[in-house]
Structure formats: structure tokens, C-alpha cells
Amino acid sequence: MTLSVFWRLLTLSHEKERVMQLFLKPNDTFFFRDGKPFTRGEQSEGYSIETPFPSTVMGALRTAYIAFYGDIAQFANDQMKSVIGTKQSLDGASIHIKGVFLGRSEDSLYYPTPRDLVSEKKSQDPRLYLLSLESPSDAFTSNAELPALLTWKDSKKQVEHTDGYISCGNLRKYLRGETQDLMSEESNFIIDEPKVGITRNYKTLTAADGMLYRINMKRFVDSTLGFVVDVDGIDQVPKRALIKLGGEGKGFAYRKISQNTDPLSDGDRIILKDKVSASRKFKLYLVTHAIFDDGWFPKDLHPDIELITAAVGNHVHVGGWDVAHSRPKSTYRAVPAGSVYYFQLTNGADVDKILNCLHYKNISDQRAQEGFGLAYIGTV
């Protein structure tokens, strides 16, 4: 992210946000490819991620907008450019996805578990524990280039990070620095439902040779679950509608809802500012995958902060389909949601400006407008 982009984000942070939320509920199973190759006749098995990439939802909303307010010819002639962009680009388009979340009805949101939280290994105990921020000393050595490490001190317990979810209430406590009695949520919101299929030769009405495939469809465990999409710049869509989303064009019913996806209230932000000012440190938690130009490292976020340590998961492959050229998009290695970065303030840092620039902002170097790199700020 260049410095000019940073100042643009800072300016936008003071503008009135026109964000709305959509609750997407599948009519049946669903399938969102995980970014790995799945070419007909070459790979026989495809895998689905649980939550769609924000770019997948962006494509579905743009397609729905075309159906609601025009036709494909108008889109091809750039007559919808100001709202949903063109086939080639989103430049100048007002539509902007903040993030995609797992939700239950209209009153509960769930977020990826922060990677500096661990649970007891091989235990059903849902309690989560915060790793300690330590500087290297004579007690241990490391080849890490960062000035601090996240460690676990209790030798009586073996711990591990487990992929899962944390409730909005628990995430709020975590960001405020209240890390006692944090709990993980059930991990079986979504179950697998395998499907076996064939490709047909429509001339002979027989199965095509070498075209047997298997995909792992997904299904919510109950009908109250769905996906919450935080989106801006496309207010005029109907309050309720059906859209196609993901592999096989599966149907989803959506409705507009009013739900704040930022777990911190205005009062919480004041407390956050005071704590960051006192400690001169803060953590940045990624709610959605982020694509940084320097791999895992978030370069040029702000000139007055320095990275001191991080808890980053294995990279995630993010691809997609290029409509303009009818071919797969370039595949990126993205930093996974739930990753956490610890920063310290340098002399003269303006805490207000830093928080306004980074909290509840998409900081991804690539495809931020599509919803990648949504970040929340917390205390250390």
C-alpha cells in the first residue's frame, strides 16, 4: 500500500459511511472452491471452503445488479460503470464490500479465531488462552527477525491453535484486552455433503470418458445460519431477492438487515485509544484474508508504527474467474483470516489517525475493494 493510498484511506475514514448488511441464506447445499486447480478431465476431486471469498460475493452482487437494473448489453457498454464497474475493472465503481461473515439469523455473528489465542490440546474445553508477548532473552533464542515473540509459559498444559470461530461478544472482549474466560464456538456450523457427478456427451447422450468427478458440497447444520455481507455503494438493490452464488450457481435468498459487524462501540473506541496511548502498542486482527505485496508482511500501513511480532497462519490460495477474458484469474497467496500483527508506536504517532486509518478498514494491497484485508484494532 503506497503512502498516497494511506492518506486516501484516512480521508475516507471521516466520510459518512453508507454501509448496509445483507443476510444470505442458501436454499440447499453450497460450494465455494478453495483456490486449488479443478479442471474438468484433469482433477477428479474438488474441495469447498466454508465461507466464500469476498470476491465471490462481489461477483454475485454485480451479476444480480445487472439483472435487477438492466441487461448484459448495458453492462458491456459501461453504462453501469459508476456502480459496479466494467468487465475489466472496479476502478471508479461505488460498490465496496467490507467483509463476509458467518451469522445466525440477525442477532449473532461469528469471526475466525485470532491466531494468538490457543486452546488445550486434545481437549473438549472451549476456553481460549492468550499467548504472551516476550522479548528474546537468555532463556531462549530464535532466528526470527522480529524483536518479540508470542510464547506459551505454562509447561503443564500443551496447547495449539485450532481453526474455528469466536462470537462477537468474545471478540469484543479480546479487542478490549479482556482475555479472561474467552470461549470458542462450536466448530460444526457447516457439514460436508459429498456429491459425485459425470460430464455428459450431449451428442451421444452418454457419459464422457475420464470425466467422473467428486466435490464436497457444504450445508449449514440448521436453517438459522447464513452469511452476512457488509457492502457499500449499492443501496438501491431490492430488500429481498434471490441470487446465484458459488459453484453450480447455487441459489441463495437474501434480505437487507441492520447489523453492526464492527464489534467495538464508540465507547469501546475511546477506551481502545486510551489503552493504546498508554501502552504504545496495539494488535491488528484480520477478519478476512489479505493479499499483501510482500507476502505475509503488511508493508507501508503507516509511517509511525513498527511491526514487533505476528501470529500468521498458512497461506490461502485466492483465485477467481476473469469474465472479461473467460479464463481463471491470477492466483494469489493470501494471509489467512484470523492472523494477528503486533505493532508499536514510534515517537510522535497520532493515535487517533492510526486507529481511524486501520480499524474497520480493508488494508489489503490487492483487491481491497472486493473485501480482502478487513482489519480490527485491539489492545496489547
Task: Name the strand (E) or helix (H) holding 23.
Answer: strand 19-26
* Structural domain contains residue 74: yes
* Structural domain contains residue 160: no
Q: Helix and strand tally (H, E) in the chain?
A: 7, 27
Domain with 39, as residue range(s), is 19-109+188-257
pTM of the model as a whole: 0.88
Residue-wise over 295-321: b if at least 16 C-beta within 10 A, else e? Answer: ebebeebbeebebbbbbbbebbebbbe
Distances (CA, A) of 29 to 32, 191, 321, 349: 11, 10, 21, 49
Please report the pLDDT score of residue 15 as a whole number.
38
CA torsion through residues 299, 303, 307, 313, sign: negative
* Regions of the chain short of the pLDDT cut 50: 1-17
* Structural domain contains residue 331: no
* Structural domain contains residue 46: yes
- Those residues whose C-beta lies under 8 Å from the C-beta of residue 57, and which sit 6 or more positions away, are 24, 97, 100, 227, 229, 245, 371
* Structural domain contains residue 195: yes
Encode pLDDT of 189-219 as tens digits.
999 998 888 888 778 888 777 777 788 899 9
Contact 206, 146 (CB under 8 A): no
Please report the pLDDT score of residue 12 as a whole number.
39
* Structural domain contains residue 222: yes
Return the closest-CA partner of residue 117 out of 108, 126, 109, 105: 126
* Structural domain contains residue 234: yes
Q: For residue 101, what is its C-alpha cell?
A: 461473515
Please report the pLDDT score of residue 315 as a whole number.
94
Q: For residue 199, what is its C-alpha cell?
A: 460430464
CA torsion, points 114, 117, 121, 127, in degrees to nearest 10?
-100
Considering its fold, how many domains does the chain have in total? 1
Please report the pLDDT score of residue 77 as a whole number.
85
* Structural domain contains residue 101: yes
Please report the pLDDT score of residue 323 as a whole number.
66
